[in-house]
């Protein structure tokens, strides 16, 4: 049964009064395999994004083929650009942002404008463009309340208290909140598909890198139940492309 058929069956059972909310998120663990069986790729190769993912509607996508990043707000616009690479447009954080956060946290960030979500599945292609070292990183941001209150995923070569983990910035220097994580992540030189899944009800945050069957990080936290999303790095440079966000809009 493909992902969409499984989702349809969940919806049928829910209409009968059966609580399937937990199963919706369990389905994600095998989502990519199910999609491949159905012959529909979730991302990459210019394929169309599914209209729903584990019951969440597609709210935002950007492949940057417009040649601009009008839907994004960087901490330093001079450090970001849309550029054509091998016939494909990417959003490239190519320089060090002239921005200093009030508390210790990443400074190279570009946020999606005017969008606040709670539950979500966020997926993108990401390519690290820096030199190899322990903290060689790219980051995904979410749950933003303001410049000193948000979550971020730091994907880096080697894990330590400040790298390759899920962090919260809550008015003070970032703190790792990961319950589970790998010892490190190999960026290599090519783009990778990265996915973050957030379930506000149980606080679950899961991060997938390449392999969508097994997360590389898991955390549980309910401090911020909604906010916008973004991408960037702590100390490095990198490119993003094919950003897709299936999500529930935050309540006003």
pLDDT mean over 42-52: 68
Question: Looking at the predicted structure, is the pLDDT value of residue 251 above 90?
Answer: no
If one counts every other C-beta atom within 10 angstroms of the C-beta of residue 110, the result is 23
As a whole number of angstroms, the distance between CA 216 and CA 211 comes to 9
Burial degree of 131 (CB within 10 A; 0-12, 13-18, 19+):
exposed
Mean pLDDT across the chain: 88
Q: What angle do CA 31, 1, 7 make, to 5 degrees?
A: 60
Share above pLDDT 90 across residues of the chain, in percent, rounded to a whole number: 79
Band of pLDDT at residue 241, cut at 50, 70 and 90: very high
Q: pLDDT class for 45, splitting at 50, 70, 90?
A: very low
pLDDT beyond 50 at 55: yes
| Model pLDDT for residues 81-140, shown as the tens digit of each residue | 999 999 999 999 999 999 999 999 999 999 999 999 999 999 999 999 999 999 999 999
- Kindly tell me the sign of the dihedral angle through the C-alpha atoms of 86, 75, 203, 187: positive
What is d(CA 208, CA 123) in angstroms, rounded to the nearest whole number?
9
Please check whether residue 196 is in contact with residue 140, taking contact to mean a CB–CB distance below 8 angstroms: yes
pLDDT tens-digit readout, 201-229:
999 999 999 999 999 999 999 999 999 99
Q: Domain ranges for the chain, please list them.
A: 1-40, 49-249
Overall average pLDDT of the 9-30 stretch: 54
Residue with more model confidence, 29 or 120: 120
Q: Which residue has the higher pLDDT, 17 or 163?
A: 163
pLDDT higher than threshold 90 for residue 28: no
> In this structure, is the dihedral angle defined by the CA atoms of residues 83, 87, 89 and 93, taken in order, positive or negative?
negative
Quickly name the fold that domain 49-249 has. Answer: Jelly Rolls (2.60.120)
Q: What pLDDT does 11 receive?
A: 54
Cα radius of gyration (the chain): 17
Q: Does residue 43 surpass a pLDDT of 90?
A: no
Task: Give the Cβ contact number of residue 87 at 10 Å.
Answer: 5
pLDDT band at 184 (very low <50, low <70, confident <90, very high): very high
pLDDT score, position 26: 53
């Amino acid at each position: 049964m493909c992902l969409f058929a499984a989702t349809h069956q969940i919806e049928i059972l829910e209409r009968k009064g059966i609580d399937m909310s937990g199963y919706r998120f369990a389905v994600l663990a095998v989502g990519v395999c199910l999609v491949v069986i159905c012959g529909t790729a979730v991302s990459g190769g210019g394929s169309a994004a599914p209209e729903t993912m584990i019951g969440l509607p597609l709210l935002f996508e950007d492949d940057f083929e417009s040649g601009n990043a009008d839907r994004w707000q960087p901490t330093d616009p001079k450090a970001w650009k849309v550029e054509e690479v091998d016939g494909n447009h990417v959003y490239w954080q190519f320089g060090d942002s002239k921005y200093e956060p009030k508390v210790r946290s990443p400074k190279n960030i570009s946020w999606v404008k005017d969008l606040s979500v709670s539950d979500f599945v966020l997926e993108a292609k990401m390519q690290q463009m820096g030199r190899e070292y322990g903290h060689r990183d790219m980051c995904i941001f979410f749950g933003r309340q303001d410049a000193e209150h948000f979550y971020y995923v730091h994907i880096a070569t080697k894990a330590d208290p400040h790298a390759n983990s899920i962090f919260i910035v809550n008015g003070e220097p970032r703190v790792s909140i990961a319950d589970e994580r790998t010892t490190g992540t190999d960026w290599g030189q090519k783009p990778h598909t990265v996915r973050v899944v957030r379930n506000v009800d149980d606080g679950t945050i899961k991060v997938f890198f390449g392999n969508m069957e097994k997360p590389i990080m898991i955390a549980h936290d309910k401090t911020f139940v909604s906010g916008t999303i973004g991408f960037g790095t702590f100390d490095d440079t990198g490119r993003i492309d094919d950003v897709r966000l299936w999500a529930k809009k935050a309540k006003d």
